[in-house]
Structure 1
């Protein structure tokens, strides 16, 4: 017979286990777990492959190597750990490295490590988020410059359209991974057709039509040099369509004095549940981040939403786009928005800002 007092005795609560941070340097997924002892990297099978300690000193936050299966720290796992730290402390301007980590040759070659005689070597968040290998996986080197003409416009020859997933980033405030993959007609036609005929989308895009029309439209887009159509996903579930282009060859060029490597983009959010503020704070900075990473020579991003699209224009302003002017296309009056590379990385543009629900608190003075 069981003891009645045992049934009513309050059970001790088990503290929640910390949510692992997900990273994929060079396209290889890893999980980073933080606790009081520091950080642990593990592969998808759960095997630990690296340990780091984190110390708060008078000079700043110092990351040190604590050991692993290998005798020396590995660059890939260390990059994943650094990304996890910046995600946990988003206003940390720089992370100092102990000497074992500062000796990693790839970090120095990529320009990540800055050195001064009076402080330990360090990595700034501004430099770190300009490293394509953290989020692009199979990052392409800059394409050689060779000028050609398209419809009377002189511009650099563009690389071939990529395939598969081109960008992937874990968003800890959503607990989801955002990815961008190149559209595939057979895979995405029905979805694109449904989205274009959604009244909320059709109001701004004005591209309603039947399945055959939309098939032709997508096939032509994929065949057009310099235009890359992308499907945006949260945890691999598609939510929207992004059409990226080189501004020099686009109709926007005369209105913004487009440079050789300026990029532009259009967007539609097809799934209504992803149209709220927490999600726009994820996808809008992420498309900007992807386009800046795709070619290190890109200094400006441009966008031309309809001038009466107040919600989109407001979101652009909150995410660092300067709204320069209204102007007329044959089919619409547009607003020119411009994002500068320097502003995006200097002001940590990938971090949601108020009033987005995903925004982070003001900087903690201990970590600046």
Structure 2
């Protein structure tokens, strides 16, 4: 679930499995190179609204499981809850943030102190916090080194914290809802991407059921991932 980083290691070329429409090379503008650390220093204050925006202000959506909305994480309010979820063995196996609250606190601090490329949120279903999300600009993330990124690609990381909401199709339902929220609120975004651990079969299955397609395997520095993509153009068909 972590972002890919820029350590050594090159991924398998997922374009082999995605068709010619996914082989568009990402043009590395000076701004993008700066954000990825390969160019001049990035501006001191990035315009966060031009990156991911403010998912916590997006309207709630009605799903078959109830009303769902994203709420911006507040560390003081949410740390204990998110840390408890991170210590669930099923979550810890892939997020690798188990341990004292300080471990999760450091991760959240990095997210909250960033330039807006990644925004941490709680997923609230019928007023009950039950999941954790990171909505991020995949094309401005080190992940872009490992797949044929396109400008304004948005990525999602998630965990379902409440055990009672696992294995009932809730994950797929909410993945579809959140990807629809992104597409509705970020008009320049043409597709949503994700890179769950290839070993995490329930997660991969949830993405498939949510209208994502499997575009190949990608070697990231900390895992072998399944590259999942949901296209704006096909959102009503899948």
Regarding TM over 0.5, the answer is: yes
Q: Do the aligned partners of residues 203 and 167 (structure 1) sit closer, same or farther apart at CA in structure 2, a change above 3 Å counting?
A: farther
Whether 1:253 and 2:144 are equivalent positions in the alignment is: yes
Q: Do the aligned partners of residues 314 and 164 (structure 1) sit closer, same or farther apart at CA in structure 2, a change above 3 Å counting?
A: closer
Counterparts of 1:278 and 1:238 in 2: how far apart (Å)? 17
**Higher percent of residues as strand:** 1
Counterparts of 1:281 and 1:247 in 2: how far apart (Å)? 20
Q: How many residues align?
A: 200
Deviation at 1:165, TM superposition (A): 4.1
Higher Cα radius of gyration: 1
Q: Do the aligned partners of residues 216 and 179 (structure 1) sit closer, same or farther apart at CA in structure 2, a change above 3 Å counting?
A: same
| Aligned pairs (5 A) from 1:327-366 | 327-344=218-235, 346-347=236-237
Q: Tell me what 1:266 maps to.
A: 157
Runs of 4+ in 1 over 4 A off after TM superposition: 153-158
Whether 1:200 and 2:90 are equivalent positions in the alignment is: yes
Q: Do the aligned partners of residues 153 and 240 (structure 1) sit closer, same or farther apart at CA in structure 2, a change above 3 Å counting?
A: farther
Counterparts of 1:152 and 1:194 in 2: how far apart (Å)? 37
| Aligned pairs (5 A) from 1:277-288 | 277-288=168-179
CA distances 1:325-368 after superposition (whole Å, capped 9, x unpaired): 11211211111111100111x32x5xxxxxxxxxxxxxxxxxxx
Q: Tell me what 1:184 maps to.
A: 74
Whether 1:159 and 2:48 are equivalent positions in the alignment is: yes
Q: Tell me what 2:181 maps to.
A: 290
Q: Do the aligned partners of residues 304 and 269 (structure 1) sit closer, same or farther apart at CA in structure 2, a change above 3 Å counting?
A: same
Structure 2, unaligned runs of 5 or more? 1-29
CA distances 1:136-167 after superposition (whole Å, capped 9, x unpaired): xxxxxxxxxx9462112699955246374434
Q: Tell me what 2:190 maps to.
A: 299
Aligned partners of 1:241 and 1:267 also within 8 Å = yes
Q: Do the aligned partners of residues 316 and 185 (structure 1) sit closer, same or farther apart at CA in structure 2, a change above 3 Å counting?
A: same
Q: Tell me what 1:240 maps to.
A: 131
Deviation at 1:284, TM superposition (A): 1.2
Q: Do the aligned partners of residues 210 and 228 (structure 1) sit closer, same or farther apart at CA in structure 2, a change above 3 Å counting?
A: same
Deviation at 1:269, TM superposition (A): 0.7
Question: Which of 308, 311, 322 is residue 213 of structure 2 equivalent to?
Answer: 322
Q: With a CA cutoff of 8 Å and minimum separation of 6, indicate the structure with the bigger relative contact order.
A: 2
CA distances 1:12-34 after superposition (whole Å, capped 9, x unpaired): xxxxxxxxxxxxxxxxxxxxxxx
Aligned partners of 2:147 and 2:218 also within 8 Å = no
Q: State the Cα RMSD in Å.
A: 2.3
**Higher percent of residues as helix:** 2
Counterparts of 1:164 and 1:302 in 2: how far apart (Å)? 20
CA distances 1:233-270 after superposition (whole Å, capped 9, x unpaired): 11110001011110112122022221221100111111
TM-score for both structures, normalised by structure 2:
0.77
Whether 1:213 and 2:103 are equivalent positions in the alignment is: yes
Counterparts of 1:235 and 1:343 in 2: how far apart (Å)? 29
Structure 1, unaligned runs of 5 or more? 1-145, 350-368
Counterparts of 1:184 and 1:276 in 2: how far apart (Å)? 28
TM-score for both structures, normalised by structure 1:
0.51
